[in-house]
Structure 1
Amino acid sequence: MECNIKREKVVVANPKLFGDRERTNILRGGEQQLILFLLKKLPTWVSPNFMTGIGMFGSVLVFAAFILAHFYGTSWLLTGISGLLINWLGDSLDGRLAYYRNIPRKWYGFTLDIVMDWLSIVLIGLGYYFYANNVQQILAFLFVVLYGWSMIIALLRYKITGAYQIDTGRLGPTELRVIIALILLAETIITGTIGYFAIAICVLLSIINITDTLKLLKDGDARDKADKGSR
Structure 2
Amino acid sequence: MATARREMTFLLAEPERRLLRLIAARIPPALRPNHLTALGVLAATGVGIAYTLTNHSSTWLFVASALLVVQWFGDSLDGTLARVRHIERPRYGYYLDHIVDAYSVTVIGLGLGLSPYVDLGVALGAVVLYHILAINVYLESMVFGAFKLAYGRIGPTEVRVILILANTGLALHHGGPWLPAPAVLANWGLGLITAGMLALLVARFANNLATLRKMEPRPKPQVSIRSA
TM-score norm. by structure 2 comes to 0.85
Which position in structure 2 is the counterpart of 1:89? 73
Structure 2 counterparts to residues 36-115 of structure 1, below 5 A: 36-70=21-55, 72-115=56-99
Q: Aligned pair 1:159/2:122, yes or no? A: no
* Partner residue of 1:170 out of 150, 153, 157: 153
1:132 positional shift: 4.0
Q: Aligned-residue CA RMSD in angstroms?
A: 1.8
Which position in structure 2 is the counterpart of 1:199? 191
Report the more deviating stretch, 211-220 or 34-43. 211-220
Once residues 172 and 20 of structure 2 are traced to their aligned partners in structure 1, the CA distance between those partners, rounded to angstroms, is: 31
Q: Secondary structure at the match of 1:21?
A: strand
Q: Which amino acid aligns with 1:90?
A: G
**Corresponding pairs, count:** 207
CA contact (8 A) 1:160 1:219 kept: no
Once residues 60 and 11 of structure 2 are traced to their aligned partners in structure 1, the CA distance between those partners, rounded to angstroms, is: 29
Once residues 183 and 225 of structure 1 are traced to their aligned partners in structure 2, the CA distance between those partners, rounded to angstroms, is: 46
Once residues 105 and 222 of structure 1 are traced to their aligned partners in structure 2, the CA distance between those partners, rounded to angstroms, is: 34
Which position in structure 1 is the counterpart of 2:124? 141
Which position in structure 2 is the counterpart of 1:7? none
When residues 52 and 165 of structure 1 are mapped into structure 2, their CA distance, relative to the original with a 3 A threshold, is same
Q: Aligned pair 1:129/2:121, yes or no? A: no
Once residues 105 and 219 of structure 1 are traced to their aligned partners in structure 2, the CA distance between those partners, rounded to angstroms, is: 31
Structure 1 residues not aligned, in runs of 5+: 1-18
Which position in structure 2 is the counterpart of 1:219? 211
1:29 positional shift: 1.7
Cα deviation 1:103-127 (Å, max 9, x = unaligned): 1110110000110000000001110
Q: Secondary structure at the match of 2:19?
A: helix
Q: Which amino acid aligns with 1:110?
A: Y
When residues 217 and 20 of structure 1 are mapped into structure 2, their CA distance, relative to the original with a 3 A threshold, is closer
When residues 223 and 58 of structure 1 are mapped into structure 2, their CA distance, relative to the original with a 3 A threshold, is farther
* Partner residue of 2:102 out of 118, 127, 135: 118
Over the matched positions of the two proteins, sequence identity in percent amounts to 29
Larger radius of gyration: 2
Once residues 51 and 20 of structure 1 are traced to their aligned partners in structure 2, the CA distance between those partners, rounded to angstroms, is: 24
1:219 positional shift: 2.8
* Partner residue of 2:201 out of 178, 198, 209: 209
1:216 positional shift: 1.8
Q: Secondary structure at the match of 2:217?
A: helix
Q: Secondary structure at the match of 1:26?
A: coil
Which position in structure 1 is the counterpart of 2:177? none
Once residues 222 and 108 of structure 1 are traced to their aligned partners in structure 2, the CA distance between those partners, rounded to angstroms, is: 33
Q: Secondary structure at the match of 2:146?
A: coil
TM-score norm. by structure 1 comes to 0.84
Cα deviation 1:30-50 (Å, max 9, x = unaligned): 111110110111000111111
Which position in structure 2 is the counterpart of 1:12? none
Task: Give the number of the structure whose residues are more often helix, by fraction.
Answer: 1
Once residues 214 and 50 of structure 2 are traced to their aligned partners in structure 1, the CA distance between those partners, rounded to angstroms, is: 46
1:221 positional shift: 2.5
1:156 positional shift: 1.0
CA contact (8 A) 1:184 1:194 kept: no
1:153 positional shift: 1.1
Once residues 121 and 25 of structure 1 are traced to their aligned partners in structure 2, the CA distance between those partners, rounded to angstroms, is: 18
Once residues 156 and 95 of structure 2 are traced to their aligned partners in structure 1, the CA distance between those partners, rounded to angstroms, is: 17
